[in-house]
Amino acid sequence: MKTDNFHFCARRHGQHSFFLLPTIVFALLAGGVHAADSGDPRRYQESGKLTEVEKSNSSATIFINEKGYSVDTSALIVNAAGRPIPLDKLSVPSEVHFEYSYMESKPKQMEPVIVYIKETPKNSDRKRSVE
């Protein structure tokens, strides 16, 4: 007969993973939210009629669908043929497709700033007569 006083503990399968698994999942989710938050600002896409371009020394404002937008200094402006052009070479009035992001203009004040503009090709309304 065995008389030693050694206490034998059976392994606890699953009890450690009950605590460890939620901890790992929480750490990964918190890291993923932070990584998504630190990326580029979200871009919004719209189309409309460009009616006015105002350009000063350091900034530019354009009006599309009667709403004013600031234009980022690094904005890409593309004509209907797909070639990059300067902002003052955009045809006014014209139909455009544009992308904008909300950027901080003053402390705690966000405004829409255009980062991409493309003139849409003009549709030809001329119909060929078949006579």
pLDDT tens, 70-81?
999 899 999 999
Mean pLDDT across the chain, nearest whole number? 79
| 78-102: average pLDDT | 92
pLDDT at 127: 52
Q: DSSP class of residue 84?
A: B
pLDDT tens, 53-66?
998 887 899 999 99
pLDDT at 94: 92
> What's at 20, amino acid-wise?
L
Classify domain 44-119 by CATH architecture.
Beta Barrel (2.40)
Q: Is the Cβ–Cβ distance between 86 and 73 less than 8 Å?
A: no
pLDDT at 109: 85
| 83-90: average pLDDT | 91
Q: List C-alpha distances in Å: 110 to 70, 95, 125.
A: 11, 26, 41
Bridge partners of 31, per DSSP, are none
Domain locations in the chain as residue ranges: 44-119
